[in-house]
Amino acid sequence: MNSKVNGATPVLRVENLSHSFGEGQARVEALRGVSFEARAGEVTAIVGPSGCGKSTMLYLLGLLDQPDSGEIYLRGKPMTQADDSTRTALRNKSIGFVFQFHFLIKEFTARENVAMPLRKAGVLSDEALFQAEKFLKQLGLSDKAKRFANKLSGGEQQRVAIARALVNSPDLILADEPTGNLDAANSDRVFDVLLKFARDNGPAVILVTHNPELAKRCDRRLPMLDGKFVEE
């Protein structure tokens, strides 16, 4: 486990988080009392075999699911008991998701996809599109801004998805295998973008990956096995 940004403010604190699926005796314990912190500007890689609970934890941290027990603190505030509207508002303003598949809305252009979180946050259409184009430019996609999402290459789509996650300047970026579906060149490029944004803008980035090379480039690694963090 390495840590390069230990002095930074904790954006996220997780205490004894547990979660299970299924019913009765068929219940699977996906997380077993996980605790950790993520600091501003720090990129944390969660690594481990498939089914060890990495993605489950990501969805809990993204407030898309409720844990069985434990607590998640975002900027010091407990989240597990927060009502749905609070959690929804936080997902819009404080959390950015990047998934393995880009999950863009194909009926929209690249800039419209990126502008969506801004529109939800109440930014007027023209301003939101302007901001979206600015982000796409930073990601080298200024000439693709007005293309429909399904007319972009895989790497471009994933960069658009990253721009969408970053456009609201969130405190926390959750990336679930963001390069898992890309070739080596695109994978490096996408990862560079995430790292640069974290360094420049200071959100905490939590990254789930199978790629050991990418994990090594992160500020710290948290290996996970059977729903718990383990020593490397």
Partner 1 sequence: MARKRAMGMSLLGIIFGVAFFVVTQAQTSGFETFFIRTILGTNGAIRISDRFQDVDGTVTKVSDDGQARFVFHSREGARYVEGIEYPKELRKATADFPGVTGVSEILQGAGVLNTVSRSHSVRIHGIRTREHIAVSDLEEQVIRGSIKNFRDDRQAILVGNRIAERLRLEPGDRVILAGSHESLHLRVAGIFETGVSQIDKSRIYLDLSTARSFLRKPHGGSIFQVGIRHPEDAPAVAAQMQETFAHRVVSWQEREKVWLDVFKALRVSSAITVSTIILLSGLGMFNVFAIMVIEKTRDVAILRSMGFSPGDISRIFLWQGALVLVLGIVFGCLLAAIATYGISRIPLRIRGIFSTDNFVVNWDFSHYLWAISIAIVVVAVASWIPARRAARIEPAKIIRETL
In the complex with partner 1, the residue whose CB is nearer, 156 or 176, is 176
Phi/psi of residue 21, nearest 5 degrees: -120, 165
| Binding flag, residue 105, partner 1 (CB under 8 A) | yes
In the complex with partner 1, the residue whose CB is nearer, 36 or 59, is 59
User: Looking only at residues 75 through 94 of this chain, which bind partner 1 when binding is defined by CB under 8 A?
Assistant: 84-85, 88-93
| Binding flag, residue 159, partner 1 (CB under 8 A) | no
| Binding flag, residue 65, partner 1 (CB under 8 A) | yes
Residue 14 three-state SS: strand
| Binding flag, residue 176, partner 1 (CB under 8 A) | yes
Stretch near partner 1 under the rule CB under 8 A, chosen from 7-15, 96-104, 193-201, 222-230: 96-104
Answer whether 13's CB lies under 8 Å from 44's CB.
Answer: no
User: Looking only at residues 180 through 209 of this chain, which bind partner 1 when binding is defined by CB under 8 A?
Assistant: none
| Binding flag, residue 55, partner 1 (CB under 8 A) | yes
Q: How many residues line the site for partner 1 (CB under 8 A)? A: 28
As given in the structure block, the two tokens for residue 104 are: 């863009």
Compute the least distance from the CB of residue 161 to partner 1, in Å: 9
Sign of CA dihedral 147, 151, 155, 158: positive
| Binding flag, residue 97, partner 1 (CB under 8 A) | yes
Report which residue type is found at 103.
F
| Binding flag, residue 100, partner 1 (CB under 8 A) | yes
DSSP string, 142-186: GGGTTSBGGGS-HHHHHHHHHHHHHTT--SEEEEESTTTTS-HHH
Cα–Cα distance measured from residue 179 to residue 185, given in angstroms and rounded to the nearest whole number: 10
Q: Could you write out the three-class secondary structure of 134-147?
A: HHHHHCCCHHHCCC
Compute the least distance from the CB of residue 104 to partner 1, in Å: 8
Q: What would the x/- binding string for partner 1 be over residues 121 to 140, using CB under 8 A? A: x-------------------
- Measuring CA to CA, how many Å separate 100 from each of 55, 71, 97, 210, 230? 11, 26, 10, 11, 24
| Binding flag, residue 59, partner 1 (CB under 8 A) | yes
Compute the least distance from the CB of residue 55 to partner 1, in Å: 6
| Binding flag, residue 103, partner 1 (CB under 8 A) | yes
Residue 226 gets the label, from left (phi > 0), alpha (psi -120 to 50) or beta, of: left
Using CB under 8 A, list all residues that contact partner 1: 55-56, 59, 62, 64-65, 84-85, 88-93, 95, 97, 99-101, 103, 105, 116-117, 120-121, 164, 176-177
